[in-house]
Amino acid sequence: MIANRMGRLVRYIGSLPLLLLTGCSAHGLSRQFLLFRPDGPLAGTDLRFTELDVAVMMAIILPTAAITAFFLMRYRKTSSTAAYAPHWSHSNLIELIVWAIPLLTVGLLGYYSYRGSYDVNPYDPGLLKTKGLPAAGRGHVLNVDVVTTDWQWLFIYPAQHIALANALVIPKGRTVDFHMTSATVVNDFFIPNLAGMIDIMPGMRTKQELVADKIGTYKGYSANFSGGGFSWMGFATKVVPAAQFKAWVRSAQSAPRHLDYAEFNTFARPTKNVNGKTYVFSHVSAGLFDQVIKGVLQGRVYTTPLPPAGAA
């Protein structure tokens, strides 16, 4: 009971300065800043550690500011209440405060930084091992290969031999293991409600895992500026029940468009996806993700067409 009350107190203190960003409206805070509306264990843990950091800093900053103002008023030149001690030189109490508080702060934040890094480590999040996920979430991992282009997203489901462009569909309560790379420049994979941000780099493999606790549609972003089509480089993440996900997979496996490396090279041409178009592919070539990485390492580029000379 006491631990729960202390946790709520820390959360309230940590969120207090952030309320100023939205006119002191908690509803506005969650609506405008998706980080404050976690719907997955990893995003929730990120938020809790952020709130803890803010609370600790506020616990230092606010008393320091108050004491500074008090000293300025009490010991000003015209004050008649301040004692005059010309031979004062040392105070054990002040020494204790000056050294103990910073050491305790660094120790506390260091401990929780370690805990947080372990819990949400994108390559092996300890949280998903220790928080008692359902058996379906622990043992039946859904693998998704993610490829970014200029300026689209391609989500490949290798076990299902399907792919979805500019949208993502995942089942509720199931661990999703992402393997990510870029066919062009560095991008960032970011679904604020579900998982933290992580870089996606050309010619390299990046990993991320997440579990979504609630059914719904969430915004996904590229959080690294990458040129003219960056503003439209988003994707909707749809979290659906397991049965609905299986039905969607069966439907996608009958899609008329197929995807091999040659078709991918056509898809990867620089495209400003202004209208948010999505595409479903069936019969995805095995090893396509590895082919994209190999192509980048061999110098494959997708040149952005330049406007005609003299064009405005």
- Per 3-state DSSP, the chain is made up of helix, strand and coil in percentages (nearest 5) of 45, 20, 35
Q: How far apart are CA 292 and CA 163, in angstroms?
A: 14
Residues 153 and 110 in one domain: no
pLDDT tier for residue 85 given thresholds of 50, 70 and 90? confident
Q: What is the DSSP string of 237-298?
A: EEEE-HHHHHHHHHHHTT-S-EE-HHHHHHHTS----TT---EEEEEEPTTHHHHHHHHHHT
167-201 tens-digit pLDDT: 999 999 888 999 999 999 999 998 888 888 888 99
The verdict on residue 211 lying in a domain is yes
The verdict on residue 129 lying in a domain is no
pLDDT tier for residue 301 given thresholds of 50, 70 and 90? confident
Residues 264 and 144 in one domain: yes
Residues 229 and 142 in one domain: yes
Residues 213 and 155 in one domain: yes
Q: How far apart are CA 255 and CA 173, in angstroms?
A: 26
pLDDT at 63: 87
Residues 275 and 213 in one domain: yes
pLDDT at 145: 96
The verdict on residue 242 lying in a domain is yes
The verdict on residue 227 lying in a domain is yes
Residues 216 and 68 in one domain: no
Check: CB of residue 213 under 8 Å from CB of residue 132. no
Looking at per-residue pLDDT, the higher value among 41 and 34 belongs to 41
Residues 211 and 292 in one domain: yes
Q: How far apart are CA 233 and CA 308, in angstroms?
A: 25
136: CB partners within 8 A, 6+ apart: 173, 174, 242
The verdict on residue 276 lying in a domain is yes
Closest to 52 in 3D by CA, of 20, 9, 21: 9
Residues 66 and 208 in one domain: no
Give the CATH number of the domain where residue 142 resides.
Answer: 2.60.40.420
Residues 283 and 226 in one domain: yes
Instruction: Look up the pTM and report it.
Output: 0.74
Q: How far apart are CA 243 and CA 283, in angstroms?
A: 22
**Average pLDDT of every residue of the chain:** 81
171: CB partners within 8 A, 6+ apart: 142, 239, 240, 241, 242, 244, 245
The verdict on residue 78 lying in a domain is no
pLDDT at residue 41 tops 80: no
- Where in the sequence is the domain holding 188, given as residue range(s)? 136-297
**Residue 9: CB atoms within 10 Å:** 11
**Residue 156: CB atoms within 10 Å:** 24
Q: How far apart are CA 130 and CA 308, in angstroms?
A: 58
Residues 143 and 282 in one domain: yes
Total tally of structural domains belonging to the chain: 2
Residues 59 and 112 in one domain: yes
The verdict on residue 86 lying in a domain is no
Q: How far apart are CA 184 and CA 10, in angstroms?
A: 43
The verdict on residue 82 lying in a domain is no
90-141 tens-digit pLDDT: 888 888 988 988 898 888 888 888 877 777 777 777 667 665 554 444 458 8
Residues 142 and 282 in one domain: yes
